[in-house]
């Protein structure tokens, strides 16, 4: 059975059959539906309720996401989609955890918001699992990528671009091997034709073709 990326994340979080999580793992999950926010509370109240950080630290993080000064007292039910994403991300990042699971965190963020998020994630001390279609964001953050191929998980060091480069080199190497095998097959075929051809003129043509191929 095939699953979407969000369904796969849920299966990891729920420790579905075949999945085992380290008992020491404490994770915070950023969901696209932003249901970690209480619409009846302010941004500041939402972010501070699950953190051990003081209000100054919380305000600094929100400020980096361009939610500043009196804006922290806005009720979540009255703010924009982009502000909700920022508030939800701040709440996740500041939670008392050692792993962040982020599902499409850059959706609805402006460039400044994405840059601020990149900076915060780079300084985060725990593990960050990101699912994203934003290749530039992934390249900036990731030092490992996980590829799901033929129902197997393949972990690769480096960001997404380095993974693509390695795949490109593998493809080139594979193509060269295939070309070499094809050339060997053609040479063997010509050798057989040369040895069995009685027509001298035809034989000479085959020999010339053989020598050209051999030079390759």
For 108-119, write each residue's pLDDT tens digit. 888 988 999 999
What distance in Å separates the CA atoms of residue 154 and residue 174, rounded to the nearest whole number? Answer: 19
Angle of helix 160-196 versus helix 200-215 axis, rounded to 10: 160
In three-state secondary structure terms, 42 is strand
What distance in Å separates the CA atoms of residue 186 and residue 193, rounded to the nearest whole number? Answer: 11
Q: Closest Cα to residue 56, out of 115, 30, 47?
A: 47
The architecture in CATH of the region 5-141 reads 3-Layer(aba) Sandwich (3.40)
pLDDT of residue 1: 43
Q: Is the pLDDT of residue 191 over 80?
A: yes
What distance in Å separates the CA atoms of residue 17 and residue 10, rounded to the nearest whole number? Answer: 12
**pLDDT tens per residue, range 18-76:** 888 888 889 899 988 888 999 999 999 999 998 999 999 999 999 999 999 999 999 99
Neighbours of 163 (CB within 10 A): 20
pLDDT of residue 19: 85
Q: Is the pLDDT of residue 142 over 50?
A: yes
- What are the counts of helices (DSSP H) followed by strands (DSSP E) for the chain? 8, 5
pLDDT of residue 17: 84
pLDDT of residue 3: 56
Q: Is the pLDDT of residue 196 over 50?
A: yes
Share of the chain above pLDDT 70, in %: 98
Q: 11 versus 177: which is more confidently predicted?
A: 11
Q: What is the pTM of this model?
A: 0.69
- On whether the CB atoms of residues 100 and 126 are closer than 8 A, the answer is yes
């Amino acid at each position: 059975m095939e699953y979407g990326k969000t369904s796969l994340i849920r299966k990891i979080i729920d420790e579905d059959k075949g999945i085992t999580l380290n008992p020491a793992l404490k994770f915070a999950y950023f969901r696209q539906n932003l249901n970690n926010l209480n619409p009846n509370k302010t941004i500041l109240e939402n972010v501070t309720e699950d953190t051990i950080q003081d209000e100054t630290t919380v305000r600094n993080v929100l400020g980096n996401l361009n939610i500043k000064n009196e804006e922290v007292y806005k009720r979540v039910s009255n703010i924009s989609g982009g502000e909700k994403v920022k508030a939800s991300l701040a709440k996740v990042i500041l939670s008392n955890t050692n792993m962040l699971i982020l599902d499409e965190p850059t959706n609805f963020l402006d460039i400044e918001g994405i840059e601020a998020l990149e900076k915060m994630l780079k300084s985060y001390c725990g593990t960050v699992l990101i699912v994203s279609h934003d290749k530039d964001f992934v390249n900036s953050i990731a030092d490992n990528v996980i590829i799901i191929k033929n129902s197997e998980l393949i972990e690769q060091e480096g960001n997404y671009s380095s993974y693509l480069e390695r795949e490109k080199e593998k493809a080139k190497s594979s193509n060269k091997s295939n070309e070499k095998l094809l050339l060997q097959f053609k040479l063997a075929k010509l050798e057989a034709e040369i040895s069995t051809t009685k027509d001298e003129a035809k034989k000479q043509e085959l020999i010339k073709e053989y020598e050209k191929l051999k030079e390759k």
